[in-house]
Amino acid sequence: MNDVSAPEARGQGAWGRRAVVRVPATSANLGPGFDSLGLALTLYDEVTVEVTEGGLVIEVDGEGADDLAGRGERHLVVRVLRRTFEVIDELAGSGLGQPPGLRLSCVNRIPHSRGLGSSSAAIIAGIVAGRALHPHGGLLDDAAALALATEIEGHPDNVAPCLYGGLTIAWSGPGGPRAVRLDLDREVVAFVPGHTLATERARGLLPQVVPHADAAANAGRAALLIAALTGGADDAEVLLAATEDRLHQGYRAPAMPESAALVDRLRAAGIPAVISGAGPTVLAFTTTSRVDSIRSEVGNGWLKRPLNVDPHGACVQPPAS
């Protein structure tokens, strides 16, 4: 992740004046890697936070503009900013508290409630902006930022690639959440439907227990997927097998029948396709030209988004010259 918070440049006692943060969309699970694998994608939200003399002003352009601007202190980025300032204060023992006022401007391009990590992007944007603005922000390293993001989001599979970029394998242990980042340069195609699906509803469809054979199959497929994506077994047939899942997609299919049907059609055509996150977006490991050649199998009603893997993760943008 590109961290240019540099509190030393402005003096340890002064709030930063302005931070512009770019955060990528993400796709979690990638088929068999339930709650562990994640991919950063080249589709971005941009969040600008300014410290002001007082009050709270929120401006939203793009996704959610009609609803989010009026949320005030309930806005997710604002809540994360407040929490980030508290955590940094605890680390520094400074007792600085909250800045006198905030102006938040969001340009949202990541679709909401469609399995592309919009909430994780908001969380990471708030943490990275808060770190850039707080005079002791350098104390919140990436490991601490991941822990804070996981605390807020509940699981690390989307926040890890949003923070680090690339392909991430995330897990939680006694020491808190961790993630391993792998470089990946690969084109993907996202099929985004017009309707939404709440993550809570999708999670509510999952059983408490699964057959041992299904768990064993997914463990093997997840290991194979890492090899296929990183070049150890980069073969179309291998990647098709590696993206098979038995733990979540079938159970969630009744909540998104069109998405499940599209996955089946694409896979029948030899294209490795999965549900992105909790859905209903479908992610295909293929090229735009390959998808165009099976236009009839894809059908109508999908926004086709050719994307690549974002290598950087959340970035604080340099000041405008």
Q: Is 94 annotated as a binding residue?
A: no
Angle, nearest 10°, between helix axes 76-92 and 118-133? 40
Conformational region of residue 301, where left means phi above 0, alpha means psi within -120 to 50, and beta covers everything else: left
* The pLDDT value given to residue 134: 97
How much is the pLDDT for 8?
Answer: 37
Q: Is 114 annotated to bind ligand?
A: yes
Q: Do domains 7-182+309-316 and 187-308 have the same CATH topology?
A: no
pLDDT of res. 3: 43
Dihedral (Cα; 108, 110, 115, 116), 10-degree rounding? -130
The phi and psi torsions of 279 (rounded to 5 degrees) equal 85, 180
Name the nearest CA neighbour of 257 among 311, 206, 197: 197
The length of the chain, given as a count of residues: 321
pLDDT of residue 63: 87
CATH topology of domain 7-182+309-316: Ribosomal Protein S5; domain 2 (3.30.230)
In 3D, which of 216, 281, 270, 272 has the Cα closest to residue 243?
Answer: 272
CB 137 within 8 A of CB 24: no
What phi-psi label fits residue 29: left (phi over 0), alpha (psi between -120 and 50 degrees) or beta?
left
pLDDT of residue 204: 87
Q: Is 296 a known ligand-binding residue?
A: no
Q: What angle do CA 229, 234, 240 make, to 5 degrees?
A: 80
Q: Which pLDDT belongs to residue 299?
A: 79
- What is the domain partition of the chain in residue ranges? 7-182+309-316, 187-308
CA distance 47 to 183: 25
Angle ∠(226,231,232) on CA atoms, nearest 5: 75
118 is in an annotated binding site: yes
120 is an annotated ligand-binding site residue? yes
To the question of whether residue 112 is assigned a binding role by annotation, the answer is yes
Q: What digits encode the pLDDT tens for the residues 182-222?
A: 999 999 999 999 998 887 888 889 999 999 999 999 999 99
Q: Is 172 annotated as a binding residue?
A: no
Q: Does the annotation flag 301 for ligand binding?
A: no
- 206/156 Cα distance (integer angstroms): 18
Establish whether 119 is an annotated binding residue.
yes
Closest CA to 180 of 149, 219, 143: 143
Secondary structure class of 241 (helix, strand, coil): helix
Query: 256: Cβ–Cβ under 8 A, 6 or more apart, which residues?
Result: 197, 202, 275, 279, 280
- Residue-wise pLDDT for 95-137, tens only, equals 899 999 999 999 999 999 999 999 999 999 999 999 999 999 9
Determine the Cα–Cα distance for residues 91 and 85; give it in Å rounded to an integer.
10
CA atoms within 13 A on the CB side of 232: 9
Profile the chain (321 residues) by mean pLDDT over runs of 10 residues. Answer: 41 80 98 97 98 95 79 93 97 93 96 95 98 96 97 96 98 94 95 88 89 96 94 80 96 95 95 95 93 82 95 89 50
Please provide the CATH number assigned to the domain covering 187-308. 3.30.70.890
Query: What pLDDT does 234 receive?
Result: 61
